[in-house]
Amino acid sequence: MYWRLGFAGTGSCVVDLGQNRSFSSGLLGSDEQLPLKEEELDSKDAIILHQFSRPKTGAPSLSPFCLKMETYLRMVDLPYQNYFDGKLSPQGKMPWIEYNQEQVCGTEFIIDFLEERLGVSLNESLTPQEKAVSRAITKMVEEHFYWTIAYCQWVDNLEETQKMLSVSGPLSDLLKWILSHLTGGIIRREMYGHGIGRFSKEEVYALMEKDMRTLSTLLGDKKYLMGSKLSAVDAAVFSHLAPAMWTLPGTRPEQLIKGELINLAMYCDRIRRRFWPEWFVDLGDFCYTDATEPSERSSRLPDLGLYSRTDTTQGDTRTSPSHAPRRPPSPDSDPTGHSLYDSDMDTECSDGDQLKC
């Protein structure tokens, strides 16, 4: 067994630190020793989601792509098993899934795979033109905006990000320092290769602001990016805006999303309340202070294991097999696609689908 550290990014890596115990981390840490996957759940007719483990804060993941994939699975209501082992895919990427002994990595390929095998799709109601717009938005977010957020998280605010890593034990501070600085170095190198890392800090933030303002304009006063119904692009946009909302207190992106671009903040919270009932947010979660360490009970998300939104909904006794395709439900809303704003709480938490909001 090895101590293992994993890092997210376009080209992920794993660093073995030594023997004696199992330790995995990637953009976040974990001091829990996990059983072998074969003892926990076989991938026959079940989705096993490999991703980096939960951070110390209330956000489900510091990796936008891991958060995107898990949010998508919840949106299409497919049960899945989280496996926080830090093990990268054969292509060296995270997240990745196993299903019926098949391995698929890359969020776009995973979504295509699930659509083909299980018949689930969030884009069925979109026209060909809307699908093209949806893909263009996704690529802007994942291939451009991602790097500016990664820069803010892992380069410009490295010390604050280091505090969010969940690592315990006698060497926890050293491991946090190693993990955060190695990740920051990887991000810098990959940003330079991408091209965006060759610009100054001010120029990187200017590009970030343009992307955020573009998303705000595209969203307007609609409920979701493409109108009144969810589509796959919402999983991507939500997961990449989540750092600005919850893990980058006091930074330029947070000031923008909670200030001028408030429609993006409402959009993010709308999705959080609907698909992450265990992710509680209060005013204390919007800032990180050295004086008060968040308690384990209030900040750490519970590991739900085999997850199904249907199974965990209060007042709903329906069950769904792990392999059965389901069409994701859409809440009643303004048919024009306009957000209901103050009535969002009632819309998202109807009597038949009471999530904790």
User: Are 163 and 56 a contacting pair, CB within 8 Å?
Assistant: yes
352: amino acid identity, one letter: G
Condensed to tens digits (0 to 9), the pLDDT of residues 209-242 reads 999 999 999 999 999 999 999 999 999 999 999 9
Condensed to tens digits (0 to 9), the pLDDT of residues 108-137 reads 999 999 999 999 999 999 999 999 999 999
Q: How confident is the model at residue 318 (pLDDT cuts 50, 70, 90)?
A: very low
Question: What confidence score (pLDDT) does residue 305 get?
Answer: 41
Question: What confidence score (pLDDT) does residue 264 get?
Answer: 98
% the chain with pLDDT above 90 = 49
pLDDT greater than 70 at residue 333: no
User: Are 257 and 265 a contacting pair, CB within 8 Å?
Assistant: yes
Question: What confidence score (pLDDT) does residue 281 get?
Answer: 61
For 8, phi then psi, to 5°, come to -90, 160
Residue-by-residue DSSP string for 185-217: HHHHHHHHHHSGGGS-HHHHHHHHHHHHHHHHH
Question: What confidence score (pLDDT) does residue 42 get?
Answer: 59
Question: What confidence score (pLDDT) does residue 357 get?
Answer: 38
Closest CA to 51 of 37, 63, 42: 63
pLDDT greater than 60 at residue 32: no
Question: What confidence score (pLDDT) does residue 193 get?
Answer: 92
pLDDT greater than 50 at residue 343: no
pLDDT greater than 80 at residue 335: no
Question: What confidence score (pLDDT) does residue 197 get?
Answer: 93
148: amino acid identity, one letter: T
97 or 53, higher pLDDT: 97
Strands across the sheet containing 306-307: 102-105, 96-99, 47-50, 80-83, 306-307
% the chain with pLDDT above 70 = 65
129 or 352, higher pLDDT: 129
Question: What confidence score (pLDDT) does residue 271 get?
Answer: 97
Instruction: Give the integer Cα–Cα distance in Å for 25 and 27.
Output: 7
Question: What confidence score (pLDDT) does residue 168 get?
Answer: 66
pLDDT greater than 60 at residue 33: no
> CB under 8 Å to 254, separation ≥6 — which residues?
244, 245, 248, 286
pLDDT greater than 80 at residue 14: no
Condensed to tens digits (0 to 9), the pLDDT of residues 233-291 reads 999 999 999 999 999 999 999 999 999 999 999 999 999 999 998 887 654 443 333 33
Q: How confident is the model at residue 53 (pLDDT cuts 50, 70, 90)?
A: confident
pLDDT greater than 70 at residue 314: no
User: Are 86 and 167 a contacting pair, CB within 8 Å?
Assistant: no
pTM: 0.72
Question: What confidence score (pLDDT) does residue 214 get?
Answer: 98
> CB under 8 Å to 270, separation ≥6 — which residues?
223, 339, 344, 348
Question: What confidence score (pLDDT) does residue 160 get?
Answer: 83
User: Are 257 and 286 a contacting pair, CB within 8 Å?
Assistant: no
Instruction: Give the integer Cα–Cα distance in Å for 318 and 313.
Output: 9
Which of the residue ranges 18-32, 86-100, 278-292 has the most confident prediction, judged by mean pLDDT?
Answer: 86-100
Question: What confidence score (pLDDT) does residue 166 get?
Answer: 67
CA distances from 297 to 168, 195, 279 (A): 16, 42, 12
Give mean pLDDT, residues 48-72.
90
Closest CA to 191 of 204, 178, 179, 180: 204
Give mean pLDDT, residues 190-209.
95
Domains present along the chain, CATH in parentheses? 47-118 (3.40.30), 128-278 (1.20.1050.10)
Q: How confident is the model at residue 297 (pLDDT cuts 50, 70, 90)?
A: very low
